[in-house]
Structure 1
Amino acid sequence: MQPDQPETTVLLVDDHALVREGLREILGYQDDMVVVGEAGDSQGAVEQTAEKRPHVVLLDIEIPGDDATTTVARIRERSPHTAVLILSMYEGPELLQSLLDVGVRGYLLKSVTKQELVSAIRSVRFDKDRVVVSVSRESIAGSGQSDPGGPPMILSDREREVLELTAQALSNRQIAAQLSLTEATVKRHLRNIFVKLGAASRIDAVNKAVEGALIEVGERRQAAAHR
């Protein structure tokens, strides 16, 4: 760290305490970085960002609450100079493009190395024009483009069940009760579905799943998903 450069402040946002602990340990070995706060959901992320004004937010894409694009937009509204780095298990051209559109400074798969993570944080801190993306070449090439001729994204059986009930305009609580799941689990399945399909909303996910022959619902049920 240069003598005239303050430490890079980082906010960790992930709903798993163990993941946050691991990230905190990794960054703790860097003499130019300091973790100034943690959050486990989207509301906490926005509130902590507004309070701490960190240089960088490491944001897990699957946290409870608002979708990632909404969370990023709210963070940037409250703290425009904070750089947001997304951490994700999934690739998806449309999702990547939507996040770039709202101003994320990076999109990293959770398979990146410690060195790559630390390097990305330093890059977005000190180079205001740098955007760091660690995904496959196919995701970058397909960002913002549709590929109707490509292979359909595979949903798990449980994800199909959740999406079919979503198409019936059931709430997350009703879906949870019908499938004997917790509401948090339903939310997680929906977030996974959104990521896999590159969907921006419940109706968008239903429409894309129907178009891709991933689920079958009637027109009336499909329309009902738009609530």
Structure 2
Amino acid sequence: MVADDLIITIALVDDHALFREGLREILESVGDMRIVGEAGDSMSAVTMIADTCPDIVLLDVEIPGDEVTETVSRIRTLSPDTRIIILSMYDGPQLLSRLLGAGIRGYLLKSVHRHELIAAVRSVHEEPTRIVLAVSRNSVAQVEATAAPTLTDKELEVLQLAAHALSNSQIARKLGLAEATVKRHMRNIFVKLNAVSRIDAVNKALAASLIAPRTRGDLD
């Protein structure tokens, strides 16, 4: 018998009761997983997850109610330690990209084998920062090709001021940094954005919605 502190608690969210029943039988057959709640729509799911705070949620992408990214966002707000694995019939890079941006930890096609599902749940539970995907290589390649680069908060501040045509010395004074530090941030930004100039970096950041467009009175 597995000790309670070693049990992986799981919530099932799918509008097909028969599918949920199949998932329950598969997951609870392995001994270290326990289903703590089920729901068939987004509103019930959010309420149930807020009450049970499971380790893992298996979330169908097409449940009735709110759009799936909104449901993901609400779950992460109400139960931030819960990791979300999407189950879907669809292998689309645009949806996958949106959901990864929303903070999911896995995206599995419903055609996966039972051992793949179990392995994904264990993997995401053991390493909360790991992302598990069971989709086509084409979808992964398209997501990787369009993924926005990650800039630190300070790099974003520097770049936002550079978008207002401030010099390095002006940015340094504005942020209370040494000018050499600003130059270092700009070098890092160039590398991450594959930019060849400040204007190129700003344009690429704007295109990726990393910074806000310049508006009158921004620096007032």
TM-score, reference length from structure 2:
0.64
Tell me: CA distance 1:40–1:3, structure 2 relative to 1, closer, same or farther (3 Å): closer
**Whole-angstrom distance in 2 between the partners of 1:31 and 1:125:** 15
User: Post-superposition shift, 1:28?
Assistant: 1.6
**Whole-angstrom distance in 1 between the partners of 2:4 and 2:51:** 24
Q: Are the counterparts in 2 of residues 94 and 145 from structure 1 also a CA contact under 8 Å?
A: no
User: Post-superposition shift, 1:5?
Assistant: 4.3
Percent identity over paired residues: 56
Q: Are the counterparts in 1 of residues 61 and 68 from structure 2 also a CA contact under 8 Å?
A: yes
Hey, what does 2:80 align to over in structure 1?
80
User: What stretches of structure 2 of length at least 5 have no aligned partner?
Assistant: 147-220
Hey, what does 1:44 align to over in structure 2?
44
RMSD: 1.6
Q: Secondary structure at the match of 2:6?
A: coil
User: Post-superposition shift, 1:67?
Assistant: 1.0
Hey, what does 2:23 align to over in structure 1?
23
Letter in 2 for 1:13: V
Mapping 1:117-196, distance limit 5 Å? 117-143=117-143
Q: Are the counterparts in 2 of residues 93 and 144 from structure 1 also a CA contact under 8 Å?
A: no
**Whole-angstrom distance in 1 between the partners of 2:35 and 2:144:** 33
**1:115 matched to 2:115:** yes
Q: Are the counterparts in 1 of residues 2 and 31 from structure 2 also a CA contact under 8 Å?
A: no
Tell me: CA distance 1:22–1:3, structure 2 relative to 1, closer, same or farther (3 Å): closer
Q: Secondary structure at the match of 1:51?
A: helix
Mapping 1:64-103, distance limit 5 Å? 64-103=64-103
Cα deviation code 1:37-59 (max 9, x no counterpart): 10000111111110000000000
User: Post-superposition shift, 1:6?
Assistant: 2.2
Q: Are the counterparts in 2 of residues 58 and 85 from structure 1 also a CA contact under 8 Å?
A: yes
Mapping 1:56-71, distance limit 5 Å? 56-71=56-71
Q: Secondary structure at the match of 1:15?
A: coil
Quick check: which has more Rg, 1 or 2? 2
TM-score, reference length from structure 1:
0.62
